[in-house]
Amino acid sequence: MKAAVVTDFNRPLEIQDRVIPLPAAHQVLVRMEASGLCHTDIHAAAGDWPVRPVPPFVPGHEGIGIVEDKGEGTGHIHVGDRVAIAWLAEACGHCDHCVSGWETLCEQQRNSGYSVDGCFSEYAVAHGDYVVRVPGVIDPLDAAPLTCAGVTTYKAVKVSGAGPGKRALISGIGGLGHLALQYARIAGAETVAVDITDDKLRLAHELGADHVIDARTQDVARQVRALGGADVAISLAVSNASLRAAYDALRRHGTLVLVALPADASLELPVFEHVLDGKTVTGSIVGTRQDLAEVFRLHRLGRTRVIREQRRLKQVNESIEDILAGRVTGRLVFDLR
């Protein structure tokens, strides 16, 4: 089988021929149909973050495919099922986070495409308890971006408390932001979309944003405060300036949810203003299996639209360059069929 492999942090990915893995107990073997390219994969391949993966490894945690074989202890999954392989490859299942619905915070977790081989390959093995079934009517090329970009922003909107009567600022309308905007609208919030490229600003209009702000020419915090301020802000952009603007755009009692993970980003909080305004700053990391099942359900009901471009796996390196250069609207998905 073909796989895109990180052999070294400073080298392009290599397309290698590998032996199709055998599923061990509790594992399923998935013939991949589609795999999305997330910014996390780019950080993984570059070794950008404090905890680094160990090369050689296969990135990819937006994998969709068909179960072709399975090991013992996977009675709930059937050969032929379409499943999603997400960032949470497995968790311990018994710590306080796991048993309280916060498996995404498990300290023993393993992650697809980071601590275990991921989905940039024609086949992948995954833990049968942690794959999520994909409803048959969903196009695998749509399901892939929903598996990280979708569930991550869906969870962030939940965590933010966005709802009817609330104004939600979505900062960055790319692969994640275009979905965050849709989930905030589904939640019933008034939405403010911010970006710095024409095509993404146009997309925000198309997706029904109530207000659209061009951060190249407009002062985001001032514009949003003129509307009354943001009750919630979801930060998906990758600059310190955009983090600051999202924080400053909050109204009293507002909540900023940090989601994007630019390398070396930081946000200095003005303590006086933070206390007097009763603001909250919180982080949100991916979502649970249940969150992902809900994301698929919303898509099956026709409530969300996935904006994506499809590529072949052999284009992996140029695809990364295109994302880094901001040349991609929505999500890039490798068609592995």
Amino acid at 336: L
Give residues 6-35 in contact with Zn ion (rule: CB under 5 A). none
Query: According to the binding rule CB under 5 A, does residue 91 interact with Zn ion?
Result: yes
Residue 223 Cβ, how far from Zn ion at the closest point, in Å? 30
Residue 70 Cβ, how far from Zn ion at the closest point, in Å? 23
Residue 63 Cβ, how far from Zn ion at the closest point, in Å? 11
Q: Which of 146, 148, 168, 236 binds Zn ion (CB under 5 A)?
A: 148
Q: Which of 46, 95, 261, 298 binds Zn ion (CB under 5 A)?
A: 95
Amino acid at 219: D
Q: Which of 92, 227, 261, 285 binds Zn ion (CB under 5 A)?
A: 92
Query: Site mask, Zn ion, residues 225-244, x = CB under 5 A?
Result: --------------------
Query: According to the binding rule CB under 5 A, does residue 292 interact with Zn ion?
Result: no
Q: Of 62 and 231, which CB lies nearer to Zn ion in the complex structure?
A: 62
From 113-121, 141-149, 216-224, 310-318, span contacting Zn ion (CB under 5 A): 141-149
Residue 191 Cβ, how far from Zn ion at the closest point, in Å? 22
From 8-16, 27-35, 88-96, 318-326, span contacting Zn ion (CB under 5 A): 88-96
Residue 95 Cβ, how far from Zn ion at the closest point, in Å? 3
Residue 160 Cβ, how far from Zn ion at the closest point, in Å? 19
Residue 176 Cβ, how far from Zn ion at the closest point, in Å? 8
Q: Of 175 and 229, which CB lies nearer to Zn ion in the complex structure?
A: 175
Residue 199 Cβ, how far from Zn ion at the closest point, in Å? 22
Query: According to the binding rule CB under 5 A, does residue 156 interact with Zn ion?
Result: no
Peptide bond into 135 cis (omega under 30): no
HEC string of the chain equals CEEEEECCCCCCCEEEECCCCCCCCCEEEEEEEEEEECHHHHHHHHCCCCCCCCCCECCCCCEEEEEEEECCCCCCCCCCCEEEECCEEECCCCCHHHHCCCHHHCCCCEEECCCECCCCECEEEEECCCCEECCCCCCHHHHHHHHHHHHHHHHHHHHHCCCCCCEEEEECCCCCHHHHHHHHHHCCCEEEEEECCHHHHHHHHHCCCCEEEECCCCCHHHHHHHHCCEEEEEECCCCHHHHHHHHHCEEEEEEEEECCCCCCCCCCCCHHHHHHCCCEEEECCCCCHHHHHHHHHHHHCCCCCCCEEEECHHHHHHHHHHHHCCCCCCEEEEECC
Give residues 103-122 in contact with Zn ion (rule: CB under 5 A). 106
From 75-83, 92-100, 178-186, 252-260, span contacting Zn ion (CB under 5 A): 92-100
Give residues 32-51 in contact with Zn ion (rule: CB under 5 A). 38, 40
* Close Cβ partners of 227 (under 8 Å, ≥ 6 residues apart): 167, 192, 211
Q: Which residues bind Zn ion (CB under 5 A)?
A: 38, 40, 91-92, 95, 98, 106, 148
